[in-house]
C-alpha cells in the first residue's frame, strides 16, 4: 500500500496521542492516565504495520515507545514519585496481551501483513532471523533487549533492601524466564536454553545481593 499524506498525518496524530499520555502527569490532574501510554503506543506501531510496511520496523517503533515509557517510570520509581512497579508491569502486560490479539486479527483482515512474519499458534510474529536488512534486525534486537532491561531495573529499584524470602526470589526469576527465552531466541536461537539459564542465574544472584531475608542477625 502506498503511503500518502493522509497516512502520514494519521500516523503523526497517533504519535501525538501517545506523547500526551507519556507526559500526562504534567497536566497535574492527579489521575493515573500516564500508564495508558503503554496502550496508546500500540496505535502508531500497528497503523504502520497496517500500511503493509515492514513489520519488524513496526515492532521497533512499538519497542521504542515502550522503552521511553519504561524509562519515564523507572525514573519515577527511583525518585519515589507516584510511580509503582506493579502499575507499570500491569499496563505493560496489558499492552502485550492486546498486541498479541492484534497479531491474530489484523493479518486476517489484511492478508499481505503476513509477509516477513511467522505464525506461532494463532499469532503472526515478526521473523528477525530472515530479515534482509541486517541493521533493521539489529535494531529490533536492541530495542527488545532494552525493554526487558527496563522492566528488570525498576523491579530491582523497588525491592532493593526489602525483605524477600528465598521462595519469593525464585518466583521473581521464574516470571522472567519467558522474556529471557525470547531474548535468547532473537539473539542466539541455537543456544536459547543455556542463555536463558545463565540470565536466570545472574538475576537470582542480583536479587540475593540487594534483598534481605528479615532473619539476619546483628
Is the per-residue pLDDT at 112 higher than 90? Answer: no
C-beta neighbour count of 92 within 10 angstroms: 22
Among residues 132, 129, 133, the alpha carbon closest in space to that of 184 is found at 129
**85 within 8 A of 155, measured Cβ to Cβ:** yes
Among residues 58, 17, 57, the alpha carbon closest in space to that of 38 is found at 17
In the 3-class helix/strand/coil scheme, how is 201-217 assigned residue by residue? HHHHHHHHHHCECCCCC
Cell numbers given for 40: 496508546
Q: Can you tell me the distance from the alpha carbon of 217 to that of 206, in angstroms, rounded to the nearest whole number? A: 21
Report DSSP state, residue 52: T
**24 within 8 A of 36, measured Cβ to Cβ:** yes
| Whole-number pLDDT of residue 196 | 95
**pLDDT tens by residue, 163-172:** 888 888 899 8
| Whole-number pLDDT of residue 131 | 85
**pLDDT tens by residue, 36-82:** 999 999 999 999 999 988 999 999 999 999 999 999 998 887 776 66
| Alpha helices for the chain (secondary structure H) | 5-22, 37-40, 42-50, 55-78, 85-109, 134-159, 166-175, 177-187, 192-210
Is the per-residue pLDDT at 183 higher than 70? Answer: yes
**pLDDT tens by residue, 14-35:** 999 999 999 998 888 878 889 9
| Whole-number pLDDT of residue 30 | 77
Is the per-residue pLDDT at 134 higher than 70? Answer: yes
Is the per-residue pLDDT at 3 higher than 90? Answer: no
| Whole-number pLDDT of residue 81 | 63
Q: How confident is residue 160, by pLDDT bands cut at 50, 70 and 90?
A: confident
Is the per-residue pLDDT at 206 higher than 60? Answer: yes
| Whole-number pLDDT of residue 214 | 65
| Whole-number pLDDT of residue 218 | 53
| Whole-number pLDDT of residue 117 | 85
Mean pLDDT score of the chain: 89
Distances in Å between the Cα of 5 and the Cα atoms of 1, 49, 129, 211 are 13, 16, 32, 53
Report DSSP state, residue 126: E
Q: Can you tell me the distance from the alpha carbon of 195 to that of 207, in angstroms, rounded to the nearest whole number? A: 18
Amino acid at each position: 500500500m502506498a503511503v500518502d499524506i493522509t497516512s502520514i498525518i494519521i500516523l503523526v496524530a497517533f504519535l501525538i496521542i501517545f506523547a500526551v499520555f507519556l507526559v500526562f502527569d504534567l497536566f497535574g490532574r492527579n489521575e493515573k492516565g500516564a500508564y495508558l501510554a503503554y496502550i496508546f503506543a500500540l496505535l502508531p506501531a500497528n497503523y504502520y504495520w497496517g500500511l503493509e510496511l515492514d513489520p519488524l520496523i513496526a515492532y521497533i517503533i512499538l519497542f521504542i515507545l515502550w522503552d521511553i515509557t519504561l524509562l519515564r517510570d523507572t525514573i519515577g520509581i527511583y525518585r519515589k514519585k507516584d510511580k509503582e512497579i506493579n502499575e507499570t508491569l500491569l499496563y505493560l502486560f496489558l499492552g502485550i496481551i492486546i498486541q498479541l490479539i492484534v497479531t491474530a486479527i489484523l493479518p486476517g483482515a489484511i492478508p499481505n501483513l503476513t509477509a516477513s512474519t511467522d505464525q506461532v499458534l494463532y499469532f503472526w510474529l515478526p521473523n528477525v532471523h530472515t530479515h534482509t536488512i541486517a541493521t533493521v534486525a539489529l535494531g529490533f534486537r536492541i530495542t527488545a533487549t532494552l525493554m526487558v532491561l527496563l522492566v528488570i531495573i525498576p523491579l530491582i529499584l523497588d525491592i532493593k533492601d526489602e525483605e524477600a524470602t528465598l521462595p519469593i526470589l525464585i518466583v521473581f526469576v521464574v516470571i522472567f524466564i519467558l522474556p529471557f527465552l525470547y531474548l535468547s531466541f532473537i539473539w542466539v536461537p541455537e543456544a536459547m536454553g543455556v542463555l536463558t539459564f545463565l540470565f536466570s542465574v545472574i538475576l537470582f544472584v542480583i536479587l540475593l545481593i540487594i534483598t534481605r531475608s528479615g532473619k539476619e542477625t546483628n
